[in-house]
Chains A and B, each alone.
Chain A
Amino acid sequence: MNTTSMLSLMLPEIIVALTGGLIIVLDLIWPAAEDSGPDSQPWLAYTGVLGLLLAAASVLSLSGQDATLFEGIILIDPLGAFFKMLFIGIAILVLLLSVGALKTFTKWSAEFYALIVWCTLGHMLLASAGELFTIFLALQLTSLPLIVLIGYAKQDPISGEAALKYLLMVMVSTAVLLYGMSLIYGSLGTSTISEIGTKLAEMNTIGPVVALGLVLLLTGFAFKITAAPFHYWVPDVYEGAPNPVTAFLSVGSKFAGFALALRIIVTGLQVEMNWHLILGLMAALSMTLGNLGAIRQTNIKRMLAYSGIAQAGYLLVGLAALSQEGVGALLFYASAYLFANLAAFGVIIVFATATKSTSIERFSGLSKRSPLLALALAIALLSLGGLPLMAGFMAKFYVFLYAVKAGLVWLVAFGVVNSVISLYYYLRVVWIVYVAEGDPGEIRVPLGAGVAISICVAGVLVLGLYPEPMMQAAQFAASALFGGQ
C-alpha cells in the first residue's frame, strides 16, 4: 500500500485536523470586534459543523474498509468507524449547543470551537489506534484540550479548580497507564496490540508482570470512562466545567475510554483471569455508587455526573459479557446514551444561559416557561431511566439480554435493581419540571441549541421505537473486534 492510499484511509482525521486550524485562521482574518462578545462569530461554529459533517461523510464512504496502516499503528475497521461517527456526532451537537452559551463564561469563541474539534481528533485517533504509544499520544491529544476547555471560564474560580483537578487526574491515570504499557512492552518486546495478542497466545503460562500490566491499562481507562472506584474526580469536574464542556466530557471522553478499552480487553482475554468477574464488579460498583450518589444531589450537573457514573456501569455490563453480542449491545447503548444525555445537557445549557443557575430547584415550573424544553428534558431523563418507548429501554434490554446469555445473571439483577433506584431521581426532576411552581418568564431557545436538542430527542425516540438499523450497525462494528466470528 502506498502512502497516498494510506493517507486516503485517514481522510476523516485529516479533515478534522484541518477544520480546527481553519477555525483559528478564519478568526485571525476576520476577528471579532473588540467589545462584541463571543456570540458575534457563530459562523465559526458552523464552519466547524460543516468540517465535521464532511469528516462524517468520509467515514461513511470508508465504511466496510478493513486495513492496518503503518505497521499496525492505525487500524481502519468498522469498530473504529462506529466510534468515529459517535465522536463526530458529539462534536457537532456540542458546537451547536455552545453557540448561544459562550457568553455566560468567556469572551473568546474561536479557540473554544477549535479545541472541541481537536479534542475530537484525539478521540478519533484513540478509536483507531492499534499500538500502545499511539494510544498514549492520542490520549494526550484529548486530555490537553480538555484541561483548557474545563478551565475556560477564567473569571470563575470553580472552573479553574475543576481544570486543576482534571489535570491531576490525567497525570495520575496517565502515569498508571504508562507504567502498564512499559511492563507489557518490557515483557513481550512489542507494542502493537495485534502482536501482543499473538505473543500471549503463544505463551503457555502468562507471568504476573504481564497480568499486572494489563490491569494497570484497565485502570487507566477506568479513569476515562468514569467507572468506580476511579470516579471521584467526576462530580467536581462536571460541576465546575462550563456547561457545554460538561456535555462534551460526559459522552465524548467516556466513549473514548471505551474505544480504547475494547481493543485492549479483547487482546487481554488471552490472559487467564476472571475478566467476567473483574469487569462485572466494576460495573456493579459503578452502578451502585453512581445511583446512590445521584439521589442526594441538588445541582443537576452533579446529578448527571453521578448518573453518568452509573451509566458507565451499564455500559460495562455489556463489556463484561465479553461476547461479540455484548459489545454490540454496548455500542448500541453508547449511541442511546449519547442522544439522551446530550438532550438533557442541551436543556441545561439553554436553561443556565437564561437563568444563570443549574440548581434542580430552579427547574420548577419549566413546563410553563418553555413547554418544549420541559418535554425534551422529560424524554431525555425517562430514556436515561430506561423506560420503554425510549432509546434507553432498548439499550438496557439489549445489554442485559446478552449479559444473561453470557451467564452474568447476578450482574443483571444488580443492574435491574439499580435501574429502579435511578428512576427515583430522574422522575423527581420530571416532577419538579412539570408540577412544582416556579419563576415566571418565558425561556427562549437559540436556533443552534434548538436544532441540537431536536436532533437528540428525535434520536432517543427513533432508537426507542425502531432500533433495528442502529443495532445492526453496532453488531457489525462489534464483529470487527472479534475477527468476524
Chain B
Amino acid sequence: MTLPQILAFTILVPLAGGVLIAIIPRSLARWARPVAITVSGLTLAMATYLWVSFDGTSSDMQFELIHDWVPGIGTSFHVGVDGLSMPMVFLTALLTVVAIVASSKIKDLVREYFTLLLLLEAGLMGVFVALDMILFYVFWEVVLIPMFFLINIWGGPRRNYAAVKFFIYTLAGSLAMLGGIIALYLSTGAVTFDMLELATDAASLSAATQTAIFVAIAFALAIKVPIVPFHTWLPDAHVEAPTAVSVLLAGVLLKMGSYGFLRLGPQLLPEGFRALVPVISVLAVISIVYGAAVALMQTDLKKLVAYSSVSHMGYVMLGIAAGTTAGVLGASVQMFSHGLIAGMSFLLVGALYERAHTREMGAFGGIAKVTPVLAGTLVFASFASAGLPGMSGFIGEFLVILGSFEPYTWFAALAGLAVVLTAGYLLWMLRRVVFGQLNEERAAMPEMTLTEAIALAPLCIGTIVVGIFPQTLVGTMQASIEAVARIVGR
C-alpha cells in the first residue's frame, strides 16, 4: 500500500468500522467497544506511520491522492497533508483512541455510540486532509451530525438544549462558509474547487472580493474555534456532553476552526486574511483575557475547563493573526498541546464526577490524601494548562507571545499578563479540590482505575515529550509554517 492510499484509509477505516459496528447484532453489542478500539488503534497506527514517513523539510503537500469525483463542477477527492495538517491527523487518531478507551461506562445504545464516535473520527480526519473545498465542506458537516447525536443522546440533563444550540451555531456558520465557497468558485471563474488551484486563481481577485469571501468563511471558523463573542455554545455543549465526547470536542473539534484559518486564510485568500487580521487579533486577546477571567469565577469544574479552552484557543488565534513564523509556529504547537491538555483535563473532571456525582469544587477538598494518583495527575494537568516550562503548553504560549510581540506589542503584553490569570484560576481550583481540609464525603473515594490510567498516560507523556523535545513537533511543521509566514509577509 502506498502512503497516499494509507492517508485515504485514515478516513475510510473509521468509516468502515463505524458501519461494521452499526450492523453487528444486538446480542454481540458487548463487542462494540473492543472493535472500536481495534479500528481506532489501527487508524492511529496508520497516522503514526504517516508521520514517521513525513518529510518535515518540505512545505509541499505530501501523500497526495486525487480521484475524480464530480468533474462536471470541478470537484475531486483530493487529499494530502503538509506540516499544518500532519500533527492534527495524529492528534485526531490519538484522541479518538483515548475517547473510546475512556467510554467504558457507556451502557445504553452501545453500538450506536461507538458507531457515531468512529464516524466523528472519519469526519475529523477528512477535514484535516481535504484539499478540495467541497470535500472540506462535506467533512466539516459530517462532523456535526455525530456530535449532535452524541451530545443529545448520551449527554447530561440539559443535553437537548446544548445539542440544539451547538447544532444551530455550527450550522449557521457552515452555511455562511458554503456561501463563501460558492462565491469563491464563481468569482474565480475557473471550474475547480481544488484548494491548491484556487490558491493561484484567487490571487487575481480584488482585495474587496477576497475580504468579502473570507468574512463568510471566517464566520464559520470563528464559531468553531470559538472566538469571543461566538463562544456561548461551548460551555453548554461541554457541560452536557459525556466525558469522552468533551475530550474530542475540546481536543480536536475546536482545532478545525483554527486549522481552517491557517489553511484557507493566508494561502487561499491572502488579501482577505490581511484585511481581517486586525479584527481577529483584537478578538483573540479578548478571548484570552475574557476566557481566563470567566474561568476564575467558575465553581463547576467542567465549566472552568471549558472557559479555559476559550482562553487557550485565544492564544492560537493571536499567533495566527500575528503571522510571524514564531507566532504561527506557537499557534500550531498550542493547537496540538491544547488537544493533549484539554483531553487530560476533561478525562480527570469526568473521573471526579463519576466518583462524586457533582462537579462543584466545593464538594471536593483534600482529595490528595485519599487518591494521591488521581490528585497528582490533576495537578500535573493544571500545571500543563498553566504553561509550566517543561510542558507543551509553555512552548506554545511562549512562542505566541514572542511572535506577536513585534506586530502587537500591547496585545502580547496582555496575553502575557493573562498567563497570571490562568495560573490563578488553576491554583485556586487545586487548592479547593486537591489540597486543604479533606471533605468527609470524599473520604472513601476510589483511586484511579487502570482504564483511566491507560486513557490518560499517552496524553501525559505527549505533554512532556513536546515540552522537553519540542523539535519532534516543530520539525514537522516548520517548513510549512515558514511558507505561511512568508505569504503574510511579516
Contact = CB atoms under 8 A, between A and B. Distances in A.
Interface of A: 367, 371, 375, 382, 387-389, 393-394, 397-398, 400-401, 404-405, 412-413, 416-417, 419-420, 423, 427, 431, 434-435, 466-468, 471-472, 475
Given A388-B138, A393-B138, A475 B72 contact: yes
A419 B175 contact: yes
Interface in B60-102: 68-73
A382 B168 contact: no
Contact of A388 (B141, B148, B182): B141
A382 B144 CA distance: 13
Given A416-B178, A434-B112, 19 more contacts: A367-B112, A382-B145, A387-B141, A387-B145, A388-B141, A389-B138, A393-B141, A400-B182, A401-B186, A404-B182, A404-B183, A412-B179, A416-B179, A419-B175, A431-B149, A434-B149, A434-B153, A435-B109, A468-B69
17 contacts: A367-B112, A371-B23, A375-B22, A387-B141, A388-B139, A389-B142, A413-B179, A416-B175, A419-B175, A420-B171, A423-B171, A431-B149, A434-B109, A434-B112, A468-B70, A468-B72, A471-B73
A420 B141 contact: no
A432 to B, nearest CB: 12
Nearest to B144: A387
Contacts of A427: 148
A206 B168 CA distance: 48
B152 A431 contact: yes
Given A423-B171, A467-B70, A404 B186 contact: yes
Contacts of B435: none
Contacts of B152: 431, 435
Interface in B103-150: 109, 112, 134, 137-139, 141-142, 145, 148-149
Contacts of B137: 388
Tell me if B's interface is mostly helix, strand, loop or mixed.
helix
Point out which of A375, A412, A427 has the most chain B C-beta atoms below 10 A from its C-beta: A427
Point out which of B22, B70, B134, B171 has the most chain A C-beta atoms below 10 A from its C-beta: B70
A252 to B, nearest CB: 27
Contacts of B134: 397
Given A388-B141, A393-B138, A420 B172 contact: yes
Interface in B244-281: none
A333 to B, nearest CB: 14
A367 B23 CA distance: 12
Contacts of B71: 468
B246 to A, nearest CB: 20
Contacts of A435: 109, 152-153
B2 to A, nearest CB: 23
Contacts of B70: 394, 467-468, 471
A210 to B, nearest CB: 35
B186 A405 contact: yes
Point out which of B71, B178, B186 has the most chain A C-beta atoms below 10 A from its C-beta: B178
Contacts of B153: 434-435
Given A382-B145, A388-B137, A388-B141, A472 B168 contact: no
A382 B134 CA distance: 18
Contact of B168 (A371, A387, A416, A420): A420
Contacts of B182: 400-401, 404
Interface in B152-180: 152-153, 167-168, 171-172, 175, 178-179
Contacts of A398: 73
Contacts of A400: 182
Contacts of B179: 412-413, 416
A27 B71 CA distance: 50
Contacts of B69: 466, 468
B433 to A, nearest CB: 34
Nearest to B108: A435
A435 B152 CA distance: 9
